Structure 1
């Protein structure tokens, strides 16, 4: 099976060379646009990590993303795509962390899941799974569910909260200002193509910076943790800062999570394929799965959560017209360099939660609508409505499930109930197979 793509008028192709200076700047641009610090920030906030612990997790995330990206770009998938921490397993990871009181069990389960992914690629099984179980209606529904289920956490965990320095009303105002700034600067790229590209690419950084400035005038910005952090420091590593614990319930949960994560990353590969004028073959998919597994294994060993391909890169390639793999090698190098800058990680963690929430809420909506874009060309008979609608019902129902109901379930089920994305994705696959197609 080979996916055909149409020419999109790239100025620099995938295998073409560009100058070091261009690669240096464009690589940093991809890094800034990917927002890889958001998942570790959410985890650190949800489980109550201290500032040094949170900074260490963010540094480990940068290091894992950098190494995993090099693995894919140079050796396996060989497409211009960067790896970053996936949003899919966030709920399950937080549940496992709180249930086991630490990262050891999370990392142990992640290692086993990553090895299973490598095995799927080595045996060539995954390409048959894609053909049989993950058509566009299923992958689009999963992407919609990712955005839908993460959106409430932007409000309940980041915006509708109060602290010693900021009230709930102030946090709502901060989030609104940050989100509006992000949207305005992003849209400038549509109306002012030349100058607007710079603003659009930098819109996330500009929004975070402006939101933080407004927070400082409100008295809600504290840089004490930044001043105390070392300029250079090591990320948290397995076998050094963490051990590896293997819990059967956590492992089963992460195995399910990894299958959903593969569905997510496969969609990203096809998105990148479409804008780079490169076809994706079955052999390339298998190699990409092996690279995905090795990248996730590396991420676990450097003390962070599973990684996946980021569809953000496809958007930036469309804007710049530059698809050279050299840019993505340099982006990987940027990730690795940033992973050793302790003050940078502490600075990211110092950003008020409401500012992060304003950006995160917009990101969630874009993710959700990206899923709709995937399925919008489907012919919506009653069968398709149920395939899309029932998983959405499950996702919303799991979001509002009472805590006592979850706690009465076995541990493995509790972890899955904490991950609406995983369970809803399973429902989407099941609905697509169980409801027969009309002739």
Structure 2
């Protein structure tokens, strides 16, 4: 029996919509609150602005592009430099966030008038599928780290308890998606998180001290942005990272929901929504936002694409930002629980890239396709990087840039009829 799909514009009954929204909230929560913790600010203002930003995004896209906007990791390094710089500090990083969001909006306007055909040129299927796969593959390491599978500064030795919780959570998510029926079949992630949480609690791995000390109600700590050209120049290069990430996310989401989101509602609308969200977040003392891979993975796994469900998750995020104890309890979810869930969700994104290559019938007997996929994947997974000022271009972002350069070069070679596999009939058909 085929999975029941809840399409983008469908509005599930309230009793189903609430747990579906909670599932999206849990999927984004741990990563989204980690960014403000690293910046040394209150997560409550970030949860508030993530919810507001997501609702803005849904409004700008006319409810036709499902996405949850969470905290962006692309700005961690440059913002950290500004925070540590004497005479500057976090308010000046906020000014950089505002300008970065404005640049995003400018790019959206340019795309509105120039169209998206250039994407087909610089990101042919062999490149596009590889970049999409990289989104999930690059994130897989963080899921394994959360699960306690990798020795690091966080986990200095393998802990059997962490591995047990990780495996139980992952197993519940994997086998639940296969065995559950009816409504349970669309909330396996939520069930897996709750199961993992209960197991971790029973094993003494949940710390409730922060929840006990947290106030019942708390107003988010808003603060104004300040502007300094030096700070802005440090922040701006990170915009390139988020732009490439945004395009990749729209491509993979479009493949999941079965719609061309680059054309409807249009890449210019999705980028405008993302840019406005980042601008407003910066003005209010929060962090830049970006479309979240975790929530894309939830959609891929459950077949629930409804913007009403994602909008519900946004409302819950806003509500929780005022509920200190509830927020603290959710933050107490152990890393192995979220690692177990993320392990599957990130894999779903990578699988979507492979699916794109298959659906587009990429011909790997052609040297260009084989070379492009090979170079893009190795670039993204090798740890290679390019330093742009204070920003390190690496992983999926560097892989996307390399893919675009190769796509453009191959297009020029074709225009010159210089390729050894050049097909005159293909050009005539165009």
Q: What TM-score does the superposition give when structure 2 sets the normalisation length? A: 0.77
Q: Deviations over 1:304-335 (max 9, x none)?
A: 2322164246336625xxx6554444333222
The 3-state SS of whatever aligns with 1:304 is: coil
Asked if the contact 1:273/1:280 (under 8 Å) is kept, the reply is no
Q: In the TM superposition, what is the alpha-carbon distance from 1:148 to its structure 2 partner?
A: 2.5
Q: Deviations over 1:245-267 (max 9, x none)?
A: 55254333222113212212321
| Pick aligned residue for 2:403 from 428, 432, 435 | 428
| Pick aligned residue for 1:348 from 309, 323, 330 | 330
| Pick aligned residue for 2:239 from 246, 255, 267 | 255
Segments of 5+ residues of structure 1 without an aligned counterpart are 1-7
Q: Which residue of 2 aligns with 1:265?
A: 249
Q: Deviations over 1:134-179 (max 9, x none)?
A: 344333222222223333344557622577xx87232x54145324
The 3-state SS of whatever aligns with 1:169 is: coil
Q: Which residue of 1 aligns with 2:129?
A: 140
Q: Which residue of 1 aligns with 2:363?
A: 379
Q: Which residue of 2 aligns with 1:189?
A: 177
Q: Deviations over 1:50-104 (max 9, x none)?
A: 6xx4xx22x3343233222222333434226132226xx52x4332243233644
Superposed counterparts of 1:39-188, under 5 Å: 39-43=31-35, 47=38, 53=41, 56-57=42-43, 59-79=44-64, 81-85=66-70, 90=73, 92-100=74-82, 101=84, 103-104=90-91, 106-123=93-110, 124=112, 125=114, 127-155=116-144, 159=148, 160-161=151-152, 168-170=157-159, 173-188=161-176
The CA RMSD over aligned residues, in Å, is 3.6
How many pairs does the alignment contain? Answer: 397
Q: Which residue of 2 aligns with 1:234?
A: 219
Q: Deviations over 1:9-41 (max 9, x none)?
A: 977665566655554444334434xx1123235
* CA distance 1:17–1:378, shift in 2 (3 Å): same
Aligned equivalents of 2:345 and 2:29: distance in 1?
13
* CA distance 1:244–1:85, shift in 2 (3 Å): farther
The 3-state SS of whatever aligns with 1:307 is: strand
Q: Which residue of 1 aligns with 2:425?
A: none
Asked if the contact 1:175/1:355 (under 8 Å) is kept, the reply is no
Q: Deviations over 1:175-209 (max 9, x none)?
A: 45324422334322323423741651424423541
Q: In the TM superposition, what is the alpha-carbon distance from 1:427 to its structure 2 partner?
A: 1.0
Superposed counterparts of 1:230-379, under 5 Å: 230-239=215-224, 243=226, 246=229, 247-271=231-255, 273-274=257-258, 281=263, 284-302=266-284, 303-308=286-291, 310-312=295-297, 314-315=299-300, 318=303, 325-376=307-358, 377-379=361-363
Asked if the contact 1:179/1:207 (under 8 Å) is kept, the reply is no
Q: Which residue of 2 aligns with 1:3?
A: none
Asked if the contact 2:25/2:316 (under 8 Å) is kept, the reply is yes
Aligned equivalents of 2:191 and 2:199: distance in 1?
12
* CA distance 1:326–1:289, shift in 2 (3 Å): same
Segments of 5+ residues of structure 2 without an aligned counterpart are 415-420, 423-430
Deviates more, 1:94-103 or 1:112-121: 94-103
* CA distance 1:26–1:420, shift in 2 (3 Å): closer
* CA distance 1:306–1:283, shift in 2 (3 Å): closer
Aligned equivalents of 1:183 and 1:301: distance in 2?
42
Q: What TM-score does the superposition give when structure 1 sets the normalisation length? A: 0.76
Aligned equivalents of 2:6 and 2:348: distance in 1?
27
The 3-state SS of whatever aligns with 2:158 is: helix
Aligned equivalents of 2:349 and 2:261: distance in 1?
24
Aligned equivalents of 1:162 and 1:245: distance in 2?
34
* CA distance 1:99–1:13, shift in 2 (3 Å): closer
